[in-house]
Amino acid sequence: MVKPFWLFCRFAIFLALQFAIPIMVKRGLRFDFLFVVYGTQEDLRSYYPKWFGSRLGRRLIFPFFITGIATKGKSGSRGLVIGLPVNPGGLSRDQLIELLGYIEGFASQVGARSIGLAGRLPRILSDARIAIRKPFVVGRRLTVAIAILHVEDVFTKFAFSKNASKVAVIGAAGFIGFYVVLRLRAVGYQVVGYDPKFQNTEVRGRATFTNDPSFISECPVAVLLTGDGKDIEGSIRYLVEGVVVADDTHPRMPRYIKERIQKEKRGIVYFIALFIRGVRFWPRLNTERPGRELVGCAVEAKFVAEGVNVEDQGVVDTILRDKTFINTAVDRRPL
C-alpha cells in the first residue's frame, strides 16, 4: 500500500513537471528533444521511477504528461521525457494522428527540434498507415549501431572469436532485428536470425534466418529484439550454457526471466543502452542503475537536435566509438 506521504510526493512532483516546465519555457529555458514513452502500468515501470504514479496522468486526463528531464551533458542538448496515459496500440488512426499533433505542438512550444518514439511506436504508426516525418525520429539507425557496439564489446570482454562464435538475434523479423542481422553480417560476424515469423530456414552467407529455435543453441551471444522482453521465455531452454544476452526490448525483460537465465544457463544479461558523459534523467529511469542510460531512439533524437547527420552510418559509428564520450552497458556491471 502506498503511504499518504509518498502519494503526496508523487502528486507534487507530477504537478511540478506539468506546470513548472511551461513556466520555465516562457522564461527562456529550451528543451532540444523529446523522448515519448508508453505502455501499460507495468510496462511504464521501465521508464518511470517506482514511486512515480502514471495513474495520475489518467486521472487528470492529459493527452500526455511530462515524466522527466534529460540533462544537457557534454554535448549541450537538453531533453524532456513525456509519457502517454493510454496504450497507442489501442487507438484508431484518427486518434493517433490527433495525438501526434498534440506532441508536435508541444515540441514547438518548448523549442524541441526532434522527437524520439520509443519501443513499438514506429511500428504502431506504420501499421496505421501513418507516415513518420520530421521532427519525429524512429531511432532505427542508432538502435542498430548501439546493438552492434554492444556485440563488439561483449566479444572483446569475453574473448569470443568472430570465426569460432555465432551471434543469435532473437526477433530477427522485426523492425530493428532484421537490420541488426544484416549489419552484423556486414561487419564479419556469423549470425543466426531467429524468429517464429520466418517460414523456413535460409542461409545467406554468414547469416542464417530460421524459425527453428534449436539453431540458437550454437550461439554464446544473443541479442533480444522482440516486442516484449517476456518473448524470450520460450527460448530459454535452447540457450547455450554461459550465454551473454543483450536485451533491447521495450518493455524490457522482467526480473524473473533474467533470474531464470542466470540460474538455468549461468548466463549474463545486459540492457542495451549508452552512457553519455554528463547526461542523466531526473527523476531517474527505472533501470536498476543510476539512471544515466539512453536507448537508441532517445540517442537519435538527441543527436538530431545537435545537428548530427544520423543518416551517415560512418558519422554515427565514429561518435559511438568515442570512449571518452560514450560507454555501453557492457562497460558497467550486468543486470
25 pLDDT more than 60 = yes
Any idea which of 148-157, 203-212, 300-309, 323-332 has the lowest mean pLDDT? 323-332
Q: Are 70 and 298 in contact (CB under 8 A)?
A: yes
Whole-number percent of the chain with pLDDT over 90:
43
The structural domains of the chain, with segments of one domain joined by +, span 4-139, 141-277+326-331
Q: What's the rounded mean pLDDT across residues 12-25? A: 70
Domain 141-277+326-331 has CATH 3.40.50.720: yes
pLDDT band at 46 (very low <50, low <70, confident <90, very high): low
Cell for 292? 544515466
The one-character DSSP state at 105 is H
pLDDT at position 54 over 70: no
Residue 277, pLDDT score: 82
Residue 312 has a pLDDT of 84
Whether the predicted pLDDT of 12 surpasses 80: no
> What sign for the dihedral angle of Cα 309, 321, 193, 227?
negative
SS3 category, 81: strand
Which one is predicted more confidently, 44 or 58?
44
Q: Which one has a higher pLDDT value, 240 or 324?
A: 240
Lowest pLDDT segment from 133-142, 272-281, 302-311: 272-281
The pTM of the full predicted model, rounded to 2 decimals, is 0.83
**Does the pLDDT of residue 183 top 90, yes or no?**
yes
Q: In what order do the strands lie in the sheet with 65-70?
A: 136-137, 114-117, 33-37, 79-83, 65-70, 281-282
pLDDT at 238: 95
Give the model's pLDDT for residue 39.
62
What is the average pLDDT value for the chain, to the nearest integer?
Answer: 83
pLDDT score, position 33: 94
Residue 283 has pLDDT above 80, yes or no: no
Lowest pLDDT segment from 135-144, 189-198, 216-225: 135-144
Total residue count of the chain as it appears in this document: 335
Residue pair 139/159 in contact (Cβ under 8 Å)? The answer is no
* pLDDT reported for residue 314: 83
**One-letter amino acid of 98:** E
In degrees and rounded to multiples of 5, residue 274 shows phi and psi of -110, 150
Q: Note whether 95 and 104 are within 8 A (CB).
A: no
Over residues 95-116, the pLDDT tens digits come to: 999 999 999 999 998 999 999 9
Position with higher pLDDT, 287 vs 83: 83
Which pLDDT belongs to residue 57?
45
